[in-house]
Amino acid sequence: MPVGIQDPIWERMWQLKLPNQTLLFAWRLCSNLLSTPSNLAARHVTFDDSCPFCNQNSVTNGHIFFDCSYAVQTFRITGLYQQISQLKRPNCEQWFRAIILENTFVSTSFFVALLSGIWYARNSAVFEQKNITPWSTVLHASRVVQDLASTSTNQARDLPELQAMNTIFQPVANAIQVFFDGSISSSNRCAGAGVYIQSSSGQFLHGLARQFPNVVDPCLSEALALREALLLCRQLDLVDVLVQGDSSIIILAAAQDSDSPSSCSPVLDDVIRMCQNLPVQKLSWVRREENVIAHNFAKFAKSSDVIETTWSDPPSFVNQSVMDLFQ
């Protein structure tokens, strides 16, 4: 049954800052009116009923929006997977309703934008044979929500949650993202620094792995990785970069929000000086899951036979590690 205008879910949805098209999608979803194969079959329309993402047969809304590996990957990237799956219900409409009406810890607009993105990706795969990655779906949803929040004069109810989200999704448009990570190997008595640079549209631009013999301090390995990242930016002549790492100690010290750990202060002094001379848009912390590529380069560096390795295309071990993250 279509959701009536008096329904509390609609009232709640109405308050969300979302494009009309996304709201329409949400209305169809909770009214069970999306043209999924099972719905089409109920209307005697024959249709290839397999999932374009995983090839499973007879897919339902529940499959597309929470059971399919595509949905799981999408939610995992956002860090919301745990919270969202805890609210799982016997069917998709009830699950959606529960999240919209009961949940206070998920940014509701963002959640709806994500589902709409999954639906768009599914349709693109079915009708246009176009592949949209879960990462693109997440980035697009975060942009939709942020754009609307920033153009709105009226403070949206979920803006505080959205700000928390900004620590994960910095403004990606027009910014090159630079990820760094450090790692140590006690058996090899060395540290590895990994740097991964991604274009504003999410393309792999550059990867670097550098080994530092005789460095066994984890903090120092992170500071060295950050310095490598900045050196690389200068070398590649990159402007307006967004530099991100998963070590909060190093990020805070480099942003001069806290004192440098003594083991790395000389390196961090270099970093601070370089930040002043480079058009670094922002230094920010990211979750380890989102730093997986730089992390893998750091791991590669500390066990490599050579001091420096660079990549201009993603090496296969990185693709594999990104896939593993979602198993």
Of 95 and 196, nearer to Zn ion (C-beta) is 95
Min dist CB 77 to Zn ion, Å, is 17
Residue 75 interacts with Zn ion (CB under 5 A): yes or no: no
Please give the order of strands across the beta sheet that includes 176-185.
Answer: 280-285, 241-245, 176-185, 190-198, 204-213, 308-311
Q: Which are the contacts of 318, defined by CB distance < 8 A and separation ≥ 6?
A: 207, 293, 296, 297
Min dist CB 76 to Zn ion, Å, is 15
Residue 131 interacts with Zn ion (CB under 5 A): yes or no: no
Report residue 296 as tokens. Answer: 């893998």
Are 141 and 25 contacting, i.e. CB atoms less than 8 angstroms apart?
A: no
The count of chain residues that interact with Zn ion, using the rule CB under 5 A, is: 5
Of 9 and 29, nearer to Zn ion (C-beta) is 29
Map tokens 């010290």 to a residue: 253
Q: Which residues ranging from 45 to 74 are in contact with Zn ion (CB under 5 A)?
A: 51, 53-54, 56, 68
Are 173 and 140 contacting, i.e. CB atoms less than 8 angstroms apart?
A: no
Residue 325 interacts with Zn ion (CB under 5 A): yes or no: no
Are 187 and 289 contacting, i.e. CB atoms less than 8 angstroms apart?
A: no
Min dist CB 316 to Zn ion, Å, is 25
Nearest residue to 166 via CA among 141, 146, 137: 146
Of 13 and 121, nearer to Zn ion (C-beta) is 121
Residue 164 interacts with Zn ion (CB under 5 A): yes or no: no
Of 54 and 236, nearer to Zn ion (C-beta) is 54
Of 53 and 75, nearer to Zn ion (C-beta) is 53
Residues that bind Zn ion (CB under 5 A): 51, 53-54, 56, 68
